[in-house]
Structure 1
C-alpha cells in the first residue's frame, strides 16, 4: 500500500477554504490522501460584507458558512495554531474552548493564516476603539450604535448628546470607507424615523485618512470623487490626518485637534499573525513569509503560503500584490494546482501571476464607486454592479438567497434597531470529551 500523504491547511479564510475545495476535488475519493484544515473559527466569513453587518443591513449568518459543511473528505479542527515546526513537519494547535494542546503531522502544509489589526503600538487606541475584522467586531459596532441612539434620545444635555452622536472611523481604505458609509446611513435614517428628539444637526460623522485622498487603491481621481460623495452625505472627511491618542470619550489627531466622541472605529492597518512571524524560515521585515513564484515558502518545497501572511511579488511591477480577497482566491488556484502536481510527481508547476479585473466599494445606499477593466464607474450603476458581483461570489446558494432577501427587505422596510446586549459564553477547564473515534481521541488526548 502507498503511504498516506497528509495535507494540512492552516486558516479558514478565502485562501484556506478555496484551497480546501479545489484540492478535495482533485483528490476526490483518493484513500491515500488525508486532508485536514485548522481554523480558530468554525466558519468561513465573507469579509467584504462585514460593514453591512455592522449597520444591521444583513445578518451575520448571511455571510458565514460552517467549515464542516465544506469538508467533503477533510477533517476539521476547531483550534488555534500555536506553533509551526517545519523541520519536524509538526503543527501544534490549541483547542478553542478548554485550551488543550495537540500536535498535527503533515507531509504538505498550506499556510494562510490572515492578519491581525495593527494599532501601531498605541495602547490607548487599542483599548478604546472598535475594530472591523470579525463577526463579533461588526455586531459590537451595531449594538454600540443602537445603544448610542437610545442614550442620546434620553438626555437633555445638548453637549453630551452631541458626543453620543459623534462617530469617528480611522482608515481611508475599503474597510474604513464602507463602514463609515454604512454607519452614516444607519444613524441618519434611524434619527429621521425613530429618534426625532436627537435631531440631524447633532450628528457628526468623521472619517480620518492619512493620505491625500481616501481609497488610494482606486487612484486620485476616484478617491477624491468618493470623498465628495461622502461629504455630500454628511461625512467630515479629514485627509492627511492621523489619530494619535484616544480615551473613553475622545480621539486626538496629529494636528492637536481633539474630537469629543463616544464611538471610535479603527480600520487603519493590519499586521502579520505572531505565529507566522515566529516560524523558523525566511521572512520579510514585516514578518510575512517569503515565497517563490510557485507560492512555495523559500527553502521548504512542501510548504505553500498565500494571502495576508505571504509576501507575493508581482513579477511585472516588482511590487507586492495587495492583500485582497480577490488575490487570495486566485492564489488558492495556483497553490492547489501546484500542490496536486508536487504530490502526483509532476514537474509542471505554474507561476503565480494575476492582473486585477477591477475594484469597487459602496459609499451608502445606492451609491458606489468602481474601476472595472480600467474603466471608472460611479453612482447607482456601480452600486448595482457591486451588489451583483458580491452576491454571485457568496459560497452557497443558501447564502445568496439570504443576502438577497435581506437587501430586498432593506429597500421595503425600516432598519431593525433591536439591542441584544452582551452574550455570556462558557469556558470548560475540567470537563474532558470522550469519543469512540480514534482521530478525535488522538486530538483531545
Structure 2
C-alpha cells in the first residue's frame, strides 16, 4: 500500500486529505501537524469580537481524520527534517516513510527589520496569538472602564490601537475592532470616547492591488467607523507605548497589530529546496517541488504562478484549498497509471468583512457586492467549507467514542 505524508493541517493539507479520501484507493494518508486542530483563520475576527467561541474557529484533526476513513491518520508532531534520499519525514517524536510527500506547511507573519516591531506587536495569524491579543485587549478595556472618571480630565487616556499594514487582513481587523468597540461601549453606556484605531500603510493607498471599487467602499466604511487612515508612510520604530513614522510623527498606542505580509514556514529553508525570497518553494505547474517527482508543495508555502501569464497567484485560503484538491487528483492519476490532467487554481474573487454585518467584494472582477449582502455572501462561502468538515469531525468523534467505550 502506498503511503502519502501530508505535512501541515491547514487549508491545503486538510483539503488534500478530504479530497483524496473519497477515491478509496490502495493508499494511506498520514497528516502531520504540530497542533491538534485545524485553525479557521478567516473566522478569527469574529472570535476576537466575541461572536464566536474557540470551538467555532478550530476543528479537531484526530476526529477529522477518523471521519475521513480508515486509511487517513493524524499524527501530532513537529517536523524538523526531511530526508529526500530516504523518502523519510522526521519529527521530534517519530519518522515516517513516504511514497509521495505533500508540503502544506503554510506561512507566518513577516516582520521586517524595524526596531522594536516584533517585541512590541501582536498578531492574529495563529490561535495562540489571537487568544493572547483577545485577552490583553479585554483586560485593557476593563482597566479603561475602571478609570472612567479620569478620562474627562486626562484626554490621553484614550485606548489606542495601531494596525500596521492595510492589506486585506489589516483592513478587516481595523474595521472589526472599531465596530466591536463602538457597540461594546454603547451597550454598557460608557461615557468616555472609547477606542481609537489608526491604520498605517506604507503604500499610497489601503488595499494595494485591489479593485478601485473595493478600495473605495472599504475606505468609506473605515472612516464611518472612526478609523484614522495613514498611507504613504513607513513605521520606522516601535516602543512599548509609541509608534514612530518616517516623517517623525509619533503615535501613542496600547496595542500594535502587525499584518504586514507573510513569509513561508520556517521548515522550508531547512529543506535545501529551491525557494523564493519569501521562503516559498518553487514548483512546476503540477505543484511538484523542483527536482522531485514525488514531492508536492501547496498553499502558502509554495510560489504558485499562472503558467499562462507567469503572474503569481495570491496566497489565499481559496487557492490553498484548490491546490490541495488538485494535487489529490494528480496523485490519484499517478497511482492509477493515468496521465496528469493539468488544472490550475482560479482566483474567483474576494469578499472582505468590514465590521459587523457589513462587507465588500468582487467576484471574478465583474460582480460587485457591498454591505449586508456582501456579509451574507462571505458567510455562505465560508460555511460551504466549514460545515462539511464539522460533519466529518463529528462522525469521527462518534466512531472514536465507540472504540474507547468498547475498550
Residue ranges of structure 2 left out of the alignment (5+ in a row): 393-407
Q: Do the aligned partners of 1:149 and 1:164 also contact (CA within 8 Å) in 2?
A: no
Residue of structure 1 aligned with 2:328, choices 330, 336, 343 = 336
Matched, 1:115 2:107: yes
Does the C-alpha gap of structure 1 residues 160 and 77 become closer, same or farther in structure 2, counting only changes over 3 Å?
Answer: farther
Q: CA deviation at 1:135?
A: 1.6
Q: Do the aligned partners of 1:89 and 1:105 also contact (CA within 8 Å) in 2?
A: yes
Partners in 2 of 1:41 and 1:262 — Cα distance? 30
Does the C-alpha gap of structure 1 residues 49 and 162 become closer, same or farther in structure 2, counting only changes over 3 Å?
Answer: farther
Partners in 1 of 2:121 and 2:130 — Cα distance? 13
Residue of structure 1 aligned with 2:12, choices 11, 15, 32 = 15
Q: Do the aligned partners of 2:115 and 2:238 also contact (CA within 8 Å) in 1?
A: no
Residue of structure 2 aligned with 1:55, choices 34, 49, 54 = 49
Q: Do the aligned partners of 1:63 and 1:394 also contact (CA within 8 Å) in 2?
A: no
Q: Secondary structure at the match of 2:238?
A: strand
Matched, 1:192 2:186: yes
Residue of structure 1 aligned with 2:219, choices 218, 227, 230 = 227
Matched, 1:246 2:238: yes
Which residue is 1:38 aligned to?
A: 32
Which residue is 1:302 aligned to?
A: 294
Partners in 1 of 2:127 and 2:14 — Cα distance? 17
Partners in 2 of 1:320 and 1:88 — Cα distance? 32
Which residue is 2:395 aligned to?
A: none
**What per-residue deviation string (whole Å, max 9, x for no partner) do you get for residues 366-417 of structure 1?**
32110023222222221222222222221437589xxxxxxxxxxxxxxxxx
Q: Secondary structure at the match of 2:116?
A: helix
Q: CA deviation at 1:254?
A: 2.1
Q: Do the aligned partners of 2:100 and 2:294 also contact (CA within 8 Å) in 1?
A: yes
Does the C-alpha gap of structure 1 residues 160 and 102 become closer, same or farther in structure 2, counting only changes over 3 Å?
Answer: farther
Residue of structure 1 aligned with 2:175, choices 164, 173, 181 = 181
Q: CA deviation at 1:157?
A: 4.2
Q: Do the aligned partners of 2:123 and 2:257 also contact (CA within 8 Å) in 1?
A: yes
Which residue is 2:402 aligned to?
A: none
Q: CA deviation at 1:217?
A: 4.3
Q: Secondary structure at the match of 1:186?
A: helix
**What per-residue deviation string (whole Å, max 9, x for no partner) do you get for residues 117-176 of structure 1?**
111133511111110111222222222221111111222444867455111111212211
What's the Cα RMSD here? Answer: 2.1
Partners in 2 of 1:375 and 1:218 — Cα distance? 14
Which residue is 2:396 aligned to?
A: none
Matched, 1:262 2:259: no
Residue of structure 2 aligned with 1:218, choices 207, 210, 225 = 210
Matched, 1:365 2:356: yes
Which residue is 1:143 aligned to?
A: 135
Which residue is 1:66 aligned to?
A: 60
Which residue is 2:372 aligned to?
A: 380
Which residue is 2:307 aligned to?
A: 315
Which residue is 1:78 aligned to?
A: 76
Q: CA deviation at 1:307?
A: 0.7
Partners in 1 of 2:126 and 2:389 — Cα distance? 23
Q: Do the aligned partners of 1:131 and 1:267 also contact (CA within 8 Å) in 2?
A: yes
Q: Relative contact order (alpha carbons < 8 A, sep ≥ 6): 1 or 2 greater?
A: 2
Residue ranges of structure 1 left out of the alignment (5+ in a row): 95-100, 401-445
Residue of structure 2 aligned with 1:288, choices 274, 277, 280 = 280
**What per-residue deviation string (whole Å, max 9, x for no partner) do you get for residues 66-96 of structure 1?**
11122122221111111122122111112xx
TM-score by length of 2: 0.89
Q: Tell me whether 258-267 or 82-91 shows the greater mean CA deviation.
A: 82-91
Partners in 2 of 1:217 and 1:26 — Cα distance? 39
Which residue is 1:92 aligned to?
A: 90
Partners in 1 of 2:161 and 2:189 — Cα distance? 17
Q: Do the aligned partners of 1:7 and 1:107 also contact (CA within 8 Å) in 2?
A: yes
Residue of structure 2 aligned with 1:350, choices 318, 327, 341 = 341
TM-score by length of 1: 0.82
Partners in 2 of 1:319 and 1:192 — Cα distance? 47
Q: CA deviation at 1:322?
A: 0.5
Partners in 1 of 2:116 and 2:238 — Cα distance? 6
Q: Tell me whether 247-256 or 213-222 shows the greater mean CA deviation.
A: 213-222
Which residue is 1:407 aligned to?
A: none
Q: Size of the alignment, in residue pairs? A: 386
Q: Do the aligned partners of 1:360 and 1:370 also contact (CA within 8 Å) in 2?
A: yes
